[in-house]
Amino acid sequence: MSRSARELIIKLFFFACALVSILVLGLIVIFLFMEGLPVFHAVSPGDFLFGLEWYPTYDPPSFGIWPLIVGSLVVTLFASLIAIPLGIFAAIYISELASPPVKELFKPVIELLAGLPSVVLGFLGMAVIAPWLQETFDIPTGLNILNASVILAFMAIPTIASISEDAIYAVPQEFKEASYALGATKFETTMRVIIPAALSGISTAVILGMARAIGETMVVLMVAGGAAVIPESIFDSVRPMPASIAAEMGEAPFRSNHYHALFATGMVLFFLTLAFNLVADYVSHKFKEVGSATL
Amino acid sequence: MMRWRYLKQTLFFTIVRAAALVIALSIFVFIAYIVFKGYRVISWDFLTLPPTDSMTKGGIMPAILGTFYLTAGAIAIALPLGVTAAVYLSEYAGQGGLLRIIRIGINCLAGVPSIVFGLFGLGLFVVFLKFGSCILSGSLTLGFLILPTIIGASEESLKAVPQTFREASLGLGVSKWQTISRIVLPAALPGILTGSILGVGRAAGETAPIMFTAAAFFTVKLPSSIFDEVMALPYHVYVLATAGTHIEKTRPIQFGTILVLIALVLGIDLIAIIIRSRIRKQKRW
């Protein structure tokens, strides 16, 4: 075999390996559809998505996942309210305020937070925060939106902090120097020069952080309380989509409507997070700065 | 006017510092709490014996072993696939539409929720390929879950190898593949390994993907082949904390299991972080 032919074969082999990710993504879609679509023999897509009642084991069962969707969105929203400011502040701290030794220490701490297994954080919510909430606020259960949101926020903080930090770090040094030369304070430079210049990266960070929160399973399974109803206060229990799938798949009879309905819920969850990721990708490319001159 | 500007700055920076402090403190307090609550349970017997008396006594050895098998399987799948994909992205691919699609695919795969990986593993490996709930199904599912992490870390370290290395090699008439295998990959190896270690930590701590694909509440005997179900540390924590009839009674065991799990996962992460900061400081080129 000639050398160039061998090189070509090697190149094709590497190319095939690079395609594996796309292949897996495709297989995920195929198998979600294969196992999920049959539920639409039993319920129309409209009733499935917007039905208010999730009673999969009743006779007759009702498969409306609107309360699950609302549950997912509510915990994600409240988690974001906590995680976005904390995450961005952490990024500003690392890149603008921390002295080099503190920085060397603080960055691994954030990474360790990212590495904490979700089941451990879920346990924390169940065994420590829930009893405390229950007692302090005198509510029937501490397993509720507030508890789940706080813990989800801590899962989203590392994503938001590290991607925002990258974005802030990438802002050219000249921008800062120019701002200081005009007499701006460090605060004014941060708020009016650095943050606006890093905004696309920070937006990407926020979107990916929210995607992380919406797809997180163990925390909402253990801490959100599991009530499949539309919540009325932050002390109500909810049943976000991942919690419903994880809790019920073990009991759903194989290839029953319930089983298919859980796969269909997985489809909804998948496309929701896919949308978040595609938007993040679009934002980070659309507003990418190329060199300092183009801004 | 001047004072107000600096007052505002002080105020804002105080808030920023406070936020950073809150994050760091909560992690520290949390880990200290787990260590404090869990260390009394840890003994040689706890680490080497199976659970007894419907999981209210005994140890967690089968769960530790199961997590080891699942993680080793996951890395055996993800490492070769991830490194080769990264070599293509960094060494072969030009700039173009196809490359953009591959990158979007990798990013999207990284964003797929872990429970959806669980459904995927259930649909493909457990049901369609008829592997059943076993080590193989769980390892494959976890392997694909950590694939984007490995690709990302490998690509980053491949890109950090100076272009001059490649040019020098190609200039001597060495073929592209030989340049990659003899020059580029060895130079990037430490970084690739660090990324893989982080992937190992991730795989060891995941629960949702193995719930339907590999994990068992309790197994009487240890797994004898890759087609056996296993216990796993994260799933064991979940089971003890939620499904048992003796939830309060087994609290000490729960804390002990969590301590072992986070010591394992954070220990692995810490090793990776330390190696990486060493590599960055050394900078041989």
| pLDDT tens digits for range A176-223 | 999 999 999 999 999 999 999 999 999 999 999 999 999 999 999 999
Kindly state whether residue B228 falls inside one of the protein's structural domains. Answer: yes
- Tokens standing for residue A37: 């679509």
A18 contacts chain B (CB < 8 A) = yes
B105 vs A6, A25, A246: nearest CB: A25
* Percent of chain A surpassing pLDDT 70: 97
DSSP one-letter code for B37? H
Residues of A in contact with B119 (CB under 8 A): 31-32, 35, 245, 249, 262-263, 266
A20 vs B81, B208, B251: nearest CB: B81
pLDDT for position B185: 92
Average pLDDT for chain A: 91
A248 contacts chain B (CB < 8 A) = no
Kindly state whether residue B200 falls inside one of the protein's structural domains. Answer: yes
Answer whether residue A290 shows pLDDT above 60: no
- Decide: pTM greater than 0.80: yes
Kindly state whether residue B83 falls inside one of the protein's structural domains. Answer: yes
- Paired strand residues for B52: B57
A2 contacts chain B (CB < 8 A) = no
Note down pLDDT in tens along chain B; length 285 residues: 678 888 889 999 999 999 999 999 999 999 999 999 989 888 888 888 888 777 777 788 899 999 999 999 999 999 999 999 999 999 888 777 788 889 889 999 999 999 999 999 999 999 999 998 999 999 999 999 999 999 998 998 899 899 999 999 999 989 889 999 999 999 998 888 888 888 898 899 999 999 999 988 777 778 888 888 899 999 999 988 887 667 777 888 899 999 999 999 998 888 888 888 887 777 666
Kindly state whether residue B31 falls inside one of the protein's structural domains. Answer: no
Residue A168 near residue A248, CB atoms below 8 Å = no
**Mutation choice for A interface testing from B5, B16, B101 by most A CBs within 10 A:** B16
Q: How far is B197 from chain A (nearest CA, A)?
A: 12
Contact: A19, B101; criterion CB under 8 Å: no
Residue A40 CA to residue A51 CA, distance in Å, equals 13
Q: Structural domain tally of chain B?
A: 1
- With CA atoms as reference, report the closest residue to B260 among B55, B27, B73, B35: B35
Reported confidence tier of residue A295, pLDDT bands at 50, 70, 90 = very low
A27 contacts chain B (CB < 8 A) = yes
pLDDT for position A289: 56
Q: How far is B285 from chain A (nearest CA, A)?
A: 22
pLDDT for position A288: 64
Residue B135 Rama label (left phi>0; alpha psi -120 to 50; beta): alpha
Residue A223 CA to residue A124 CA, distance in Å, equals 9
Sign of torsion, CA B49 B53 B54 B55? negative
E strand or H helix at B51, and its extent?
Answer: strand B51-52
Residue B237 near residue A221, CB atoms below 8 Å = no
Kindly state whether residue B220 falls inside one of the protein's structural domains. Answer: yes
Domain positions in chain A are 21-294
pLDDT for position A294: 44
Residues of B in contact with A160 (CB under 8 A): none
CA distances from A150 to A56, A60, A107, A167, A212 (A): 29, 37, 21, 25, 14
Residue A89 near residue B207, CB atoms below 8 Å = no
* CATH assignment at residue B247: 1.10.3720.10
Q: How far is B144 from chain A (nearest CA, A)?
A: 8
* Percent of chain A surpassing pLDDT 90: 68
- With CA atoms as reference, report the closest residue to B133 among A253, A262, A250, A251: A250
> How many residue pairs bridge chain A and chain B with CB atoms within 8 Å of each other?
251
| pLDDT tens digits for range A249-284 | 988 899 999 999 999 999 999 999 999 999 998 888
Instruction: Say yes or no: domain A21-294 is CATH 2.40.160.20.
Output: no
Give the domain extent around B149. 44-48+55-282
Contact: B34, A106; criterion CB under 8 Å: no
Contact: B266, A112; criterion CB under 8 Å: yes
List all residues 6 or more positions away from A255 whose beta carbon is below 8 Å from its beta carbon.
A35, A38
Within 10 angstroms of residue B227's Cβ, the number of other Cβ atoms is 13
- What's the length of chain A? 295
Residues of A in contact with B5 (CB under 8 A): 185, 187-188
Kindly state whether residue B17 falls inside one of the protein's structural domains. Answer: no
Kindly state whether residue B77 falls inside one of the protein's structural domains. Answer: yes
A39 contacts chain B (CB < 8 A) = no
Kindly state whether residue B255 falls inside one of the protein's structural domains. Answer: yes
Residue B141 CA to residue A31 CA, distance in Å, equals 13
- Of the listed ranges A38-47, A236-245, B53-62, the least confidently predicted one is B53-62
- Tokens standing for residue B24: 């760091």
DSSP one-letter code for A125? I
pLDDT for position A293: 45
